[in-house]
């Protein structure tokens, strides 16, 4: 996100915070999911809602992108029900051994976020396998 303007980064921060607020996360959970640096205390999370941009760090940027892709996939699954998108995150899922997707993301860190995204978005899972086909080559 280093190549983005400040306004673009601010809009991305706002989108990420709206997603996390929709999931009803507490400040320490937001800090954990975003992998915020330890210099940012949970009590400072509100500043990101008020227009401050998230730190421009590789780990934070990658997790923001993952969250946006998760939200897009949930929008595809539940196009008419924003409430179901937020509820899905907090419901036990058979794929995850009855753990909630939120618990997977919080307890397993980035690999948990990737697991949830892979479950929702088969194209992401396909790309992870390295199975990108080259079409038109005989």
Tens of pLDDT, residues 18-68? 999 999 999 999 999 999 999 999 889 999 999 999 999 999 999 999 999
Given a contact cutoff of 8 angstroms between Cβ atoms, the answer to whether 87 and 32 are in contact is: no
Beta-carbon contacts of 88 under 8 Å, excluding residues fewer than 6 positions away, are 74, 77, 78, 101
pLDDT score for 123: 76
Could you tell me if residue 1 is inside a domain?
no
Domain that holds residue 52: 6-128
Check pLDDT > 60 for residue 137. Answer: no
Could you tell me if residue 136 is inside a domain?
no
pLDDT score for 122: 81
Could you tell me if residue 133 is inside a domain?
no
Confidence band of 138 (pLDDT split at 50, 70, 90): very low
Could you tell me if residue 91 is inside a domain?
yes
The structural domain count of the chain equals 1
Could you tell me if residue 137 is inside a domain?
no
pTM for this model (two decimals)? 0.86
pLDDT score for 4: 86
Could you tell me if residue 135 is inside a domain?
no
């Amino acid at each position: 996100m280093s190549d983005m303007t400040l306004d673009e980064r601010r809009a991305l921060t706002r989108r990420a915070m709206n997603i996390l607020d929709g999931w009803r996360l507490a400040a320490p959970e937001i800090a954990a999911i975003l992998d915020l640096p330890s210099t940012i205390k949970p009590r400072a999370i509100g500043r990101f809602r008020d227009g401050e941009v998230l730190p421009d760090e590789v780990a934070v940027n990658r997790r923001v992108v993952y969250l946006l892709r998760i939200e897009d996939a949930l929008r595809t699954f539940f196009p008419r029900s924003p409430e179901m998108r937020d509820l899905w995150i907090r419901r036990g899922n058979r794929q995850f051994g009855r753990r909630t997707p939120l618990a997977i993301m919080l307890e397993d860190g980035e690999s948990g976020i990737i697991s949830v995204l892979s479950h929702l978005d088969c194209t992401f899972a396909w790309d992870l396998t390295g199975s990108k086909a080259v079409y038109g080559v005989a």
